[in-house]
Structure 1
Amino acid sequence: MYEDQTFEALLERMLDRVPSSLDKREGSIIYDALAPAAAEMAQMYIELDVNSNLFFADTATGEYLERSIAWSGITRRAASKAELKAMFYNSASELLDIPPGSRFSLDLLHYTAVEKLAPGTYRLESEAAGEEGNRYFGSLLPINYIPGLARGEITALLIPGENAEDDEALRQRFLESARRPSTSGNKYHYMEWALQIDGVGGARVFPLWNGPKTVKVVIVDAAKQPASGLLVSQVQQYIDPIAGQGEGQAPVGAVVTVAAADGKSISVTAKVTLASGYTLQAVIDAFKEILEKYRKEKAFTASYISQSVIGSLLLDTEGVVDYSGLKLNGGSGNVTLSETEVPLFSSVVLEV
């Protein structure tokens, strides 16, 4: 907006207001008096340009983004805590019940037993909010003494913890809400209800999937993987706990079924030419990270996984000069995804 208000332009305008009969050359008294003022004014225009961007949702950041969209009722999602399943045993390797509220540590993380799921099996909650609590394997150490306990271990991640929502995710959620308003129990309303539950990373809605007044909501977790039974149950209870009775968010008469997405297992194999100084394992690890980012972007947005895109990602991997024989699931074509499937890269095998 103020790109033309540069130091040079401001100084030139100021000097133009001085009579030509006076010395206005660089180094003169008048020039040296006006130059600092022009520099400060140029800085002021820069600040004005920055500040003007803080009032609009498409350019605002941080607190200003939150304030600019507050009228819509959409707020930044706070970091959530991971929930995991753990099993505990006595010295005879028999399942052992532990006191509710027992605390455990795994490396530098602490967990609390919040619910008994079955004999010797408990739901743990990470005491630290965010993705760091998503450690779902390893032996647990009790913080307080528990009689009869010989060992405990985390066996599964039930609901992934999420970091606080970043600016781009919040902005995108606001824009989608404005472009696809959710109201009166339309498709987007069901999607919005599902996403209001901590741990839900995406949802698809299928109206009339099993006849009149039936709605199916398919969800993934925060890691864009098939949701756990616990997360599915939480969403079901929130939207429609008693079928068709309107006891949840869904209107009376709507029979809602919440289900987890299906995972589509995809293997990747190829031969690669490595750059000098790179090891095969380092390249595989880097490629897996790139694939995981790509997988999350495509969950519930793509109808297939493109072989050519995977090849491009492989070439973008640091240390890869070239590749040949790229195959997905043993074939040379794309891998299709149904409306209820999300991609899962089950194995990555690279050879030289």
Structure 2
Amino acid sequence: MLHTVSNEHDKRQGSFMYDALVPPAEQFEKIDQAISFVKEKLDIGNLSGDELAKRIKERTGIDRKQATFSSGYVLLHGTGTANLGDLGETPGGVQFRITETKTITTSGTVKAQAVIAGSTGNVPANTITMFPVTLPGFTSITNPEPMTDGFDAESDEDLLQRYYERIRTPATSANKAHYKNWAKEVTGVGDARVIPLWEGPNTVKVVIIDGDKQPASMAIINDAQTHIDPGKKGLGEGAAPIGAYTTVVSATGVDINVSVTVTLSPGYTQEQVTQNITASLTKRLKEIAFVEAIVSYAKVGAAILDSEGVTDYSNLLVNNGTANVPINYEEVAVVGTVTVNV
């Protein structure tokens, strides 16, 4: 702004001209910054949180999948009445609410659901062992089976991926992309594969995995089936058109069993490193689910080496061999047994 003023005027700091131009110059700078900020938001990849969800909703109608509550059954020992809302808890503080009222004599099972939505409720079997509040007549509580189907709210990354899939793979006239999109609209479905004409004309098979890229539970399968083609009748009562007999199934899990000898980093125990390797392998298999047709022996080794507490490794066996493990079109790799020797 000073440059546009003739040099015949005094423009030095402290002069009238200088002081007159400073306030508007500062405001113009703020406006420029605001414009740059808004321009960045024109690229949907720069958005996050509610802004991202709102933009995607406006453009495609896709909603972010909300967190779901893990659920299952708990076994109560004693004689009394389990009431809706009674609580059980794990030693780690994860609470579960009984979702039905039931009179029990000696022992019996009741339905239960995590108090807080998300994956924290997916606890292993026999871990719900405490009563936060005493339940009259009952002496113990446990969960004979794992509690399942608790999923975190869809991440920005996954939501953006669904958005890109929608706009880059045109879903029209019930093509394969359409079936995949329909499946992934269902809460709990992490990905899907579509097999046309699998049992002859007008038949479609949709193979799904859950949000953790694991084999889907029966509850998720039923939800997806109802959304696409209720009852597999081809009546057009779901998303699929009339005459399209659609069957939704879960991918079959293929256990990836790993045995390895490691050199521990100072300060780490064998148990800690086993947990870290298991977490690293789980992350790796999640990344390749429905993407790659093999579990790479070399990349399993890389995942082990990237695990905290591992300085080096040797004698690696993956499914008792040293070769890649093939994963078929209707299968998904899952972590099996992890044996770590030191």
Q: What's the TM-score once normalised by structure 1's chain length?
A: 0.81
Is the CA contact (8 Å cut-off) linking 2:66 and 2:187 kept in structure 1?
A: no
Q: 1:192 to 1:158 in 2, by over 3 A?
A: farther
Are 2:42 and 1:61 aligned? no
Is the CA contact (8 Å cut-off) linking 1:194 and 1:235 kept in structure 2?
A: yes
- Give the residue type in structure 2 aligned to 1:49: S
- Give the residue type in structure 2 aligned to 1:186: N
- 2:255 equivalent among 256, 262, 265: 265
Are 2:311 and 1:321 aligned? yes
- Secondary structure of the 1:101 match is coil
How far is 1:331 from its partner? 0.9
- Give the residue type in structure 2 aligned to 1:154: N
Alpha-carbon distance between aligned partners in 2 of 1:350 and 1:227, rounded to the nearest angstrom: 29
- 1:202 equivalent among 177, 187, 191: 191
Q: 1:256 to 1:99 in 2, by over 3 A?
A: farther
How far is 1:208 from its partner? 0.8
Q: How does 1:43-82 map to 2 (within 5 A)?
A: 43-69=30-56, 70-82=58-70
Are 2:270 and 1:280 aligned? yes
Alpha-carbon distance between aligned partners in 1 of 2:26 and 2:309, rounded to the nearest angstrom: 47
How far is 1:40 from its partner? 5.7
Unpaired runs of at least 5, structure 2: none
- Give the residue type in structure 2 aligned to 1:174: Y
- Give the residue type in structure 2 aligned to 1:73: G
- Give the residue type in structure 1 aligned to 2:247: T
How far is 1:334 from its partner? 1.0
Identity %: 36
Q: 1:179 to 1:114 in 2, by over 3 A?
A: farther
Is the CA contact (8 Å cut-off) linking 1:56 and 1:68 kept in structure 2?
A: no
Partner of 1:4: none
Alpha-carbon distance between aligned partners in 1 of 2:35 and 2:319, rounded to the nearest angstrom: 55
- 2:97 equivalent among 111, 131, 134: 111
Q: Deviations over 1:176-209 (max 9, x none)?
A: 1111132332222222222232222222111111
- 1:220 equivalent among 182, 198, 209: 209
- Secondary structure of the 1:76 match is coil
Q: Deviations over 1:240-278 (max 9, x none)?
A: 223223333322222222211111111122222333333
- Give the residue type in structure 1 aligned to 2:95: L
Alpha-carbon distance between aligned partners in 2 of 1:323 and 1:50, rounded to the nearest angstrom: 48
Alpha-carbon distance between aligned partners in 2 of 1:280 and 1:43, rounded to the nearest angstrom: 56
Q: 1:272 to 1:44 in 2, by over 3 A?
A: farther
Is the CA contact (8 Å cut-off) linking 2:121 and 2:147 kept in structure 1?
A: no
Q: Deviations over 1:52-79 (max 9, x none)?
A: 1223322222232233221311122222
How far is 1:326 from its partner? 2.0
- Give the residue type in structure 2 aligned to 1:250: A
- Give the residue type in structure 2 aligned to 1:64: E
- 2:326 equivalent among 322, 329, 336: 336
- Give the residue type in structure 2 aligned to 1:132: T
Is the CA contact (8 Å cut-off) linking 2:214 and 2:334 kept in structure 1?
A: yes
Alignment RMSD? 3.1
Is the CA contact (8 Å cut-off) linking 2:82 and 2:98 kept in structure 1?
A: no
Q: What's the TM-score once normalised by structure 2's chain length?
A: 0.83
Q: Deviations over 1:297-341 (max 9, x none)?
A: 111111111111122222222332322222211211111101111
- Give the residue type in structure 1 aligned to 2:216: A
Moved more, 148-157 or 280-289: 148-157
Are 2:301 and 1:311 aligned? yes
Q: How does 1:212-251 map to 2 (within 5 A)?
A: 212-242=201-231, 243-251=233-241
- Secondary structure of the 2:153 match is coil
How far is 1:141 from its partner? 5.0
- 1:124 equivalent among 106, 109, 112: 112
How far is 1:290 from its partner? 1.7
- Secondary structure of the 2:116 match is strand
Q: 1:156 to 1:237 in 2, by over 3 A?
A: farther
Alpha-carbon distance between aligned partners in 2 of 1:73 and 1:321, rounded to the nearest angstrom: 48
Partner of 1:10: none
- 2:152 equivalent among 133, 147, 163: 163
- Give the residue type in structure 2 aligned to 1:126: A
Q: 1:43 to 1:293 in 2, by over 3 A?
A: farther
Alpha-carbon distance between aligned partners in 2 of 1:157 and 1:99, rounded to the nearest angstrom: 20
- Secondary structure of the 2:238 match is coil
Q: Deviations over 1:104-132 (max 9, x none)?
A: 2213413232599xx94444222322222
Is the CA contact (8 Å cut-off) linking 1:88 and 1:153 kept in structure 2?
A: yes
